[in-house]
């Protein structure tokens, strides 16, 4: 029977339940307070009366139920979730597997990763794609690896510069007034800029034993009448002083 005023019932009637406050101590598994204290009111749709009291009076569950006006909303969400999380069986074919991974965010091709535009990412995106990483996972891993590489590069460069400065100080101490002459012998010993670059890139230009070996080689070359190096006499000095050093 309809009410005396003849009005239709609301499409989505609601009920009000008092849910224990999140901060209220001493609640049992059903969310029921064991001690006295104020709670908070949460409006739930009438259909939620079919849900057990244990869930309806649980603050976390009630907050989610409050967003569902109709039972159909709950059913729809469950069906959509199942469609996203169904894991293919061991007999699944390539197409089914690919479709599953795409739902999770795995790009169809390595070049579809957002980090594919980054310089030097070719090997990385191939490995990421083979590992079935999502675009977000690949981006996070690339960022972590890049930052780690940058820190390592900076630390290596700092160590190289420190070693060069120490070697320069040692050469000044050992050769004294003959320091510039020793540097000239070093330039003779290395002969060309290519050898010097190889020493720098290998991290050997700051090794005192290596430097003194090339100084001795340059001195021997002068005594034998070998051609003079075309490197400016001050070049090695400027490298030791840090002006020309760049680890690549």
Quote the CA–CA distance of 25 and 243 in Å, as a whole number: 66
Do the Cβ atoms of 41 and 17 come closer than 8 Å? yes
Q: What value does the mean pLDDT take over residues 196-209?
A: 78
Given this model, what pLDDT does residue 20 score?
A: 55
> Which H or E element spans position 149?
helix 135-175
pLDDT at 245 over 60: no
Given this model, what pLDDT does residue 241 score?
A: 52
How many C-beta atoms surround the C-beta of residue 135 within 10 A? 16
Please list, in sequence order, all residues whose beta carbon lies within 8 angstroms of the beta carbon of residue 239, skipping any fewer than 6 positions away.
164, 196, 200, 205, 245
Q: What is the pLDDT of residues 145-155, one digit of tens each?
A: 999 999 998 99
Q: What is the pLDDT of residues 97-133, one digit of tens each?
A: 777 778 778 898 999 999 998 998 999 999 999 998 9
Q: What is the pTM (predicted TM-score) of this model?
A: 0.44
Given this model, what pLDDT does residue 3 score?
A: 47
Q: Which residues is 39 bridged to in the sheet?
A: 20
Quote the CA–CA distance of 208 and 131 in Å, as a whole number: 46
Quote the CA–CA distance of 243 and 82 in Å, as a whole number: 64
Comparing 32-46, 163-177, 188-202, the range with the smallest average pLDDT is 32-46
In angstroms, what CA-CA distances link 87 with 81, 91, 96, 106, 176?
A: 12, 11, 10, 15, 75
């Amino acid at each position: 029977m309809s009410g005396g005023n003849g009005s239709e019932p609301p499409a989505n009637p609601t009920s009000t339940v008092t849910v224990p406050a999140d901060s209220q101590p001493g609640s049992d598994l059903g969310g029921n307070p064991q001690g006295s204290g104020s709670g908070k009111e949460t409006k739930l749709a009438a259909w939620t009366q079919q849900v057990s009291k244990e869930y309806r009076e649980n603050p976390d569950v009630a907050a989610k139920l409050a967003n569902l006006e109709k039972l159909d909303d709950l059913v729809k969400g469950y069906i959509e979730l199942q469609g996203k999380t169904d894991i293919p069986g061991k007999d699944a074919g390539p197409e089914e597997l690919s479709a599953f991974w795409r739902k999770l965010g795995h790009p169809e091709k390595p070049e579809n990763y957002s980090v594919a535009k980054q310089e030097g990412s070719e090997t990385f995106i191939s490995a990421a794609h083979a590992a079935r990483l999502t675009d977000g996972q690949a981006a996070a891993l690339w960022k972590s690896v890049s930052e780690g590489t940058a820190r390592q590069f900076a630390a290596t460069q700092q160590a190289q510069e420190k070693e060069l400065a120490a070697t320069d100080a040692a050469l000044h101490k050992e050769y004294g007034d003959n320091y510039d002459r020793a540097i000239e012998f070093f330039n003779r010993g290395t002969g060309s800029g290519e050898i010097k670059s190889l020493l720098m890139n290998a991290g050997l230009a700051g090794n005192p034993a290596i430097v003194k070996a090339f100084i001795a080689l340059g001195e021997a070359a002068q005594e034998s009448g070998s051609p003079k190096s075309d490197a400016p006499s001050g070049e090695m000095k400027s490298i030791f002083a840090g002006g020309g050093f760049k680890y690549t």
